[in-house]
Structure 1
Amino acid sequence: MAKSYPALVLFTALLSCGAASAQSTTVDDDGFKQPLRELKFNPGLNQREFERSTLSALEVHDPLESWNRRVYHFNYRFDQWVFLPVVDGYRYVTPGFVQKGVTNFFSNLGDVPNLVNSALQLKGERAMNTTARLLFNTTLGVAGLWDPATLMGLPKQREDFGQTLGFYGSPAGPYLMLPILGPSNLRDTTGLVVDYGINQQINYLNVSETSSDHPEIIVLRGIDQRATTSFRYGQLNSPFEYEKLRFFYTESRKLQIAE
């Protein structure tokens, strides 16, 4: 013990000197102690730059992007200068109950391709549901002017030939922006053509044949469809609306095919 005592005294002295030195030393504020105070923000990094940095997550196969963007801008202006003013005029001069009847009538016609595509996808319950809707809405609903089927617990089930192709594994193909009709892809555009052919061949309630002599029926159907579609170009309030719309459409179609 006597031999270790000088060593213990020396160790204690060193600790005391170290503590005194630490208390007397001033640490320079080099920015690492308060990094946020030294952080410089670039005022140019606004919402636009933030969105640009996330666009990689919105990638969609779009080899015709240059053409699609031109069509997108055409649709934007057509919607702003022609389509929506016509829709507003239609709403202004047409009583609400008449508008509802027109919507119900064309919705009833739309259940014909819904039924065909439900059957093609072997969705028996949906096919029976849509068959019942057609029966009740065409008879009790007076050719579809009313929609008693929904009140009876038979909601509308939308199925199109694009979904049918996707159901059987057909790839979406390149993204397409269709004039006036809006977002689509190669598979769904093919589906639109087939669904149109189904309506023409079945000629439900003789509407397709009558429309050939009275194109105003087709015009009215287009106005009604636009009036009942809530989307408005520019509503995303983003310079990257094209990319967002493309992504939302692609993902929503995947969900519709999977359900």
Structure 2
Amino acid sequence: MRYHACRIAVSLSLALPLAGCATGVKSQLEVRPWHSINEFRDQRFADVADPWEGFNLGMYRFNYYLDKYLLIPVVNGYEFVTPTFVQHRVSGIFNNLGEVRNLTNSLLQLKGGESATTLGRFLTNTIIGLGGMFDPATRFGLDRHDQDFGKTLGYWGAGSGPYLVLPFFGPSSVRDTGGLAVDTGITYGIYTALDPFADTGHSFAISAGVASLEAVDMRHQQSFRYYESGYPFEYYMVRFLYHEKREIETGKAPTAN
């Protein structure tokens, strides 16, 4: 989760030590084993629209089991057999391909300077960086600007809508889920039009392999692990942090008076 990163980090630094304190006093005080979020309705992390909380909690746990029994073992195996140098090159290629999404959404948000920077990054890393395996663009001062269609919708005034947990992708919202669908559609359309493996005779198998590798690399680059925060209300804290992060990124976060 490039999880305004300062505000998110401050939130985590304040929240996570609470779990450590709770663990330290557990042997001395009698504590109830279960708590309800209803006890904390006046806290800010409860101020996120979540009408489908039951479904989302179930999906959050589903993602935990998906991680535990499938994704993380696969990622661990990938990291074990693949040299770190190669891991970085693979991540670089997929990150470079992601610049197409960044460029599309920067243009849709009418951000001319950012669009030029992103295009410069893509061309530089594609040509000089050998398809993105290396990142000379950053050394040239062309910083990455992560964009997606959910941010584009927010830029043009669309509210986030209710919170929603997606299988595999995790925390989202109605707006961001729609944005993900559009970004995926655009990417698939470009890929289908180019069809880089058409002449191999094994286009479907190669495409499936590349998609699988992309999914493994995506989880490899994400350091978050379910239920390792030690925070007793992890679901609600993740929900709050995701919501705040997206509000900041779309310029909708409340400003201090």
Which residue number in structure 2 is paired with residue 164 of structure 1?
152
Question: Quick one: higher RCO (CA 8 Å, sep 6+), 1 or 2?
Answer: 2
Aligned counterparts of 2:196 and 2:146: Cα–Cα separation in 1: 20
2:214 equivalent to 1:227:
no
Shift of 1:235: 2.3
Amino acid at match of 1:156: R
2:187 equivalent to 1:199:
yes
Pick from 105, 112, 134 the counterpart of residue 124 of structure 1: 112
Pairing 1:19-58 to 2, within 5 Å after superposition: 43-44=29-30, 53-56=39-42, 57-58=44-45
Pick from 141, 156, 174 the counterpart of residue 186 of structure 1: 174
2:74 equivalent to 1:71:
no
Aligned counterparts of 2:55 and 2:36: Cα–Cα separation in 1: 26
* More off after superposition, 212-221 vs 175-184: 212-221
Amino acid at match of 2:106: S
Pick from 240, 244, 248 the counterpart of residue 247 of structure 1: 240
C-alpha contact 1:104 1:147 (8 A) present in aligned 2: yes
Aligned residue for 1:177, secondary structure, equals strand
What is the TM-score normalised by the length of structure 1? Answer: 0.77
Unaligned runs of 5+ in 1: 1-41
Identity %: 42
Shift of 1:110: 0.3
Pick from 77, 93, 114 the counterpart of residue 81 of structure 2: 93
Shift of 1:180: 1.1
Unaligned runs of 5+ in 2: 1-27, 253-257
What is the TM-score normalised by the length of structure 2? Answer: 0.78
Q: Taking structure 1 as reference, are residues 227 and 208 closer, same or farther at Cα in structure 2, changes over 3 Å only?
A: farther
Aligned counterparts of 1:148 and 1:204: Cα–Cα separation in 2: 29
2:70 equivalent to 1:82:
yes
Amino acid at match of 2:215: G
Q: Taking structure 1 as reference, are residues 109 and 152 closer, same or farther at Cα in structure 2, changes over 3 Å only?
A: same
Aligned counterparts of 1:91 and 1:192: Cα–Cα separation in 2: 27
